[in-house]
Amino acid sequence: MTEFNTLDDFDFRGKTVLLRVDINCPLNKDTLDITDDNRIQQILPTLKELMHKGAKVAILAHQGRPGDWDFIPLDRHAKDLSKLLGKEVKYLDDLLGKTALDAIRSIPSWEVIMLKNVRELPYEQDKKTMEEHAKMDLVTTLSPLFDIYVNDAFGASHRSQCSLVGFQAVLPSAAGRLMEKELKALGQVFSNPARPSVFILGGAKFGESVKVVERLIGKKIADWVIIVGVTGNAFLKARGVKLGAPSEELLAKEMTPEDLEAAKKLLLEKGEKILLPCDVAVEVDCRRRDLLVGDLPQNHPVLDIGRASIEKFSRVIAGAGTVFMSGPAGMIEKEPFTLGTKDLMLAATHSKAFTVIGGGHTASAAEKFGLFHKFSYVSTGGGALETYLLGKPLPVVEALKAAKNRKCPPK
């Protein structure tokens, strides 16, 4: 029994279902084509199950943010989804107008339609409670037309936005299969990980990483924390390593003095559980050169962890019971500097550990290296995963729990 309803808790036959998903995808800036449709692929199990059970489904989703170049309508997403599903998903360029309302009223059983990008609504992104959102016309107009609200938008579950938490206040609500799967996999890693548990944190979000490391070690979730990428450089700096001007300048933009102090304190108090690179790769005349940390500073940018670090970390990963990785170890856009990320992923996938990776760049890197399907689980979360890593509640999950407690009777 979960704290929220799932697809197992309702009879969907003949029911009209509003399905909120996160199919916010990376796009090609010139053509606006979807460059990675993983999030669309991941909603298929829920969608197929709802259709198979005889539901009439309307999909609600967003892409980009108003004012940004990737804020586009969802017709491309509907086309992509139709191809994956082998069945047409009719796209409506309308949300609350007569066209949309008529279409929702007449969805045939076993059919799916997709509504307009919900962020067209000026209030959609307001951060409010579920009760406050339930008063907005998105919820008051659409909820009478639906029997059940299903939320499968794990990737947006850290947002307390209208379409994500408002319907749970008024409609019987359930989590979709992706939401369930994400929470189960993350629960397995963070609640009761098989030991030894190894967490590899990379990427550039240094301030957040300090808090995550504090939590992982403080709550004894992690046996080892391996820190790589720009964050690894920042921790090296906190340990007193002089990296050289190009990397120091980049770090100055990423870290506040408070973050640096927090990292120093963490290294002092919990340093024995934190593994930092012993060597790094810099770019010299367009080529990779590995250097021991002791040979720094150098006037070249640090773009990856070095080979000795890869070897050292791979040994730790090989003996792990759980491996979690979020954030790349180096510059994954530039060839010789993909090595650290790729080899740490290889070590994880060759181990017997339960392996989970997440974060936009990490999942795309795994895809690029052909390793995506070798992990036990790949999370669709970026910001949602960061929120989870910090141990903060996810508003969408909280709203789903509240809907279950309210025991809203099926219509």
Write out the residues near ligand 3PG by the rule CB under 6 A.
22, 24, 65, 155-156, 159, 382-383
Is 64 an interacting residue with respect to Mg ion (CB under 5 A)?
no
CB of 306 to ligand 3PG, least distance (A): 32
CB of 158 to ligand 3PG, least distance (A): 8
Of 408, 403, 410, the closest CA to residue 130 belongs to 403
CB of 22 to ligand 3PG, least distance (A): 5
SS3 content of the chain, % helix, strand, coil (to 5): 45, 15, 40
Residue showing the smallest CB distance to Mg ion in the complex: 383
Residue showing the smallest CB distance to ligand 3PG in the complex: 24
CB of 242 to Mg ion, least distance (A): 34
Rounded Cα–Cα distance for residues 231 and 261 (Å): 14
**Contacted by 237, from Mg ion, ligand 3PG, none: CB < 5 to 8 Å by type:** none
**Contacted by 203, from Mg ion, ligand 3PG, none: CB < 5 to 8 Å by type:** none
In the bound state with ligand 3PG, the residue whose beta carbon lies nearer, of 235 and 388, is 388
* Contacts with 325 (C-beta within 8 Å, 6 or more apart), sequence order: 199, 200, 201, 202, 344, 345, 348, 355, 356, 357, 358, 362
Rounded Cα–Cα distance for residues 185 and 154 (Å): 12
Contacts 24+ apart (CB under 8 A), 25-30: 25/63, 25/77, 26/70, 26/360, 26/364, 27/70, 27/72, 29/69, 29/70
In the bound state with Mg ion, the residue whose beta carbon lies nearer, of 16 and 380, is 380
**Contacted by 156, from ligand 3PG, Mg ion, none: CB < 5 to 8 Å by type:** ligand 3PG
Rounded Cα–Cα distance for residues 154 and 22 (Å): 7
CA distances for 207 relative to 60, 238, 240, 259, 261, angstroms: 33, 12, 17, 6, 11
CB of 36 to ligand 3PG, least distance (A): 12
**Contacted by 339, from Mg ion, ligand 3PG, none: CB < 5 to 8 Å by type:** none
DSSP strand E in 21-165: where?
A: 56-60, 90-91, 112-114, 148-151
**Contacted by 159, from Mg ion, ligand 3PG, none: CB < 5 to 8 Å by type:** ligand 3PG
**Contacted by 391, from Mg ion, ligand 3PG, none: CB < 5 to 8 Å by type:** none
CB of 155 to Mg ion, least distance (A): 8
Do residues 257 and 283 touch, judged by C-beta distance below 8 A? no
CB of 338 to ligand 3PG, least distance (A): 23
* Contacts with 295 (C-beta within 8 Å, 6 or more apart), sequence order: none
In the bound state with ligand 3PG, the residue whose beta carbon lies nearer, of 110 and 372, is 372
- Upper half-sphere CA count for residue 111 (Cβ side, 13 Å): 11
Rounded Cα–Cα distance for residues 153 and 20 (Å): 6
Query: One symbol per residue from 365 to 394: x for binding Mg ion (CB under 5 A), - otherwise; what is it?
Result: ------------------x-----------
CB of 384 to ligand 3PG, least distance (A): 7
In the bound state with ligand 3PG, the residue whose beta carbon lies nearer, of 59 and 260, is 59
Residues that bind Mg ion (CB under 5 A): 383
